[in-house]
Amino acid sequence: MYEAGIVIRRPIEKDIDSLASLILRFYRFNEEFDPAWALCMEADKAARRVAEEYVKGSQGLTLVASYEEKLVGYVRAVMRENPMLASKMGIITELYVVPSHRRTGVASMLVEHASRELSGMGASYIAAEFPTANYVAERFYKQRRFRPFLSVYLQEV
């Protein structure tokens, strides 16, 4: 059930603080699942810089969900091209919705809007990246008919 009153749009200058907070929350959440996602000491400052970049709109797609003028979620995606492959791929790298607006369809709305935009940019496939142990994300994407596609293995050096 999609929540009435939710607006999906690109972020603007005045969203930077709220977007930075959502970005920080997204990374903090994923930190729970794998030590390789441990945040740096000044993650809050980094989140603001990242938010500024996202608002500029450079190299990728960022969409925010707002409800009554307040940001309640965002999605970040990038296009990935491989000259050897026939198809372009849009990759969702970050997706976050605040707890009070979860289970209301906001995340689905963000993914659907992002998929449409990425398709318009030439993507034939949409993928999503998240820590392997993040069962919340796994459940979310599986329910939306995403399938396992790429395995990434990690080693500490």
- Interface residues with other proteins (CB under 8 A)? 25, 28-29, 32-33, 98-100, 102, 136
How far apart are CB 72 and other proteins at their closest, in Å? 10
Burial of 19 (0-12, 13-18, 19+ CB in 10 A): buried
Q: Closest Cα partner for 92 from 21, 52, 146, 152?
A: 146
Q: Nearest distance from residue 33's CB to other proteins, in Å?
A: 8
What sign results for the dihedral spanned by CA atoms 139, 141, 142, 147?
negative
Shortest distance, position 35 Cβ to other proteins, whole Å: 14
Closest Cα partner for 106 from 93, 95, 120?
95
At closest approach, how far in Å is the CB of 98 from other proteins? 7
Decide whether 28 or 80 has the Cβ nearer to other proteins.
28
C-beta closer to other proteins: residue 49 or 102: 102
Q: Which is nearer to other proteins, 70 or 142 (CB)?
A: 70
Instruction: Confirm if 64 and 12 have CB atoms less than 8 A apart.
Output: no
Nearer to other proteins, 10 or 102 (CB): 102
Shortest distance, position 116 Cβ to other proteins, whole Å: 28
CA distance readout (Å), 69 to 40, 57, 74: 30, 20, 14
